[in-house]
Every structure is written in C-alpha cells, then in structure tokens.
C-alpha cells in the first residue's frame, strides 16, 4: 500500500537534502541482481564441472556475475529499507509536532 508523501515527509527530505527514491527502480534492481546471480552461479558451476578441463574464463565471468548480482539485489533491498525508514521518521515527526501543539 503506497501512501502519498505528507508535508512532514517532504520537509524531512528537504531538510536532509534527500532526493525521493524510486520504488519501481528498487524492485528492478532486486530482480536484475537475482537474475545476474543465478546466471553467474549456473555459469560458474558449468565451468568448473567440465569433465576434461576447467574453463577458467567462464568460471571468472560466473563469479563476477554472482558478485554483481548479489550487490544489485542488496542495493535494491537497501533502497526499500531507506524508503521505509524515511516514511517512519516522517510519521514520528508528524506525531511529535501534533503532540507539541496540544501541549
């Protein structure tokens, strides 16, 4: 469920100099990362399981894809966490401001 940004959320971003993060891009990062890691794992497994000789170039590419894919998946996940934390901080800020106004 996506909630529209509140005034507190916009004020928080403005005060900290943050640019809004894109949820769809974070999901794409996760999917691309998982795809690259899967391809890297399959390629690396194929390269080292050859009956005659290990295919070192393919093994290296497989390892690189696995590392890159893991990084992309974690970056997308981190973006989701940052978005959630920013929304929670804005909600907390709104509640504190509301309570101060009543006090």
User: What is the percent of the chain where pLDDT is above 90?
Assistant: 53
Domain-embedded: residue 78: yes
d(CA 93, CA 87): 10
- Find the domain containing 61 and state its range: 22-102
Over range 53-79, report the average pLDDT. 96
Domain-embedded: residue 51: yes
Q: pLDDT value at position 1?
A: 45
The total of structural domains in the chain comes to 1
Q: pLDDT value at position 3?
A: 53
Show the DSSP H helices in the chain as ranges: 7-16, 23-48, 56-102
Domain-embedded: residue 8: no
The 10 Å Cβ neighbour count of residue 31 is 13
Domain-embedded: residue 39: yes
Domain-embedded: residue 16: no
The DSSP 8-state label assigned to residue 3 in this structure reads: P
């Amino acid at each position: 469920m996506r909630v529209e940004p509140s005034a507190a959320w916009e004020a928080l971003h403005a005060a900290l100099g943050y640019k809004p993060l894109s949820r769809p891009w974070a999901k794409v990062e996760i999917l691309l990362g998982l795809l690259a890691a899967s391809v890297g794992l399959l390629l690396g497994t194929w390269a080292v399981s050859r009956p005659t000789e290990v295919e070192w170039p393919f093994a290296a590419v497989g390892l690189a894809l696995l590392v890159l894919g893991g990084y992309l998946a974690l970056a997308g996940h981190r973006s989701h966490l940052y978005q959630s934390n920013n929304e929670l901080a804005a909600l907390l800020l709104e509640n504190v401001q509301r309570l101060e106004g009543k006090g």
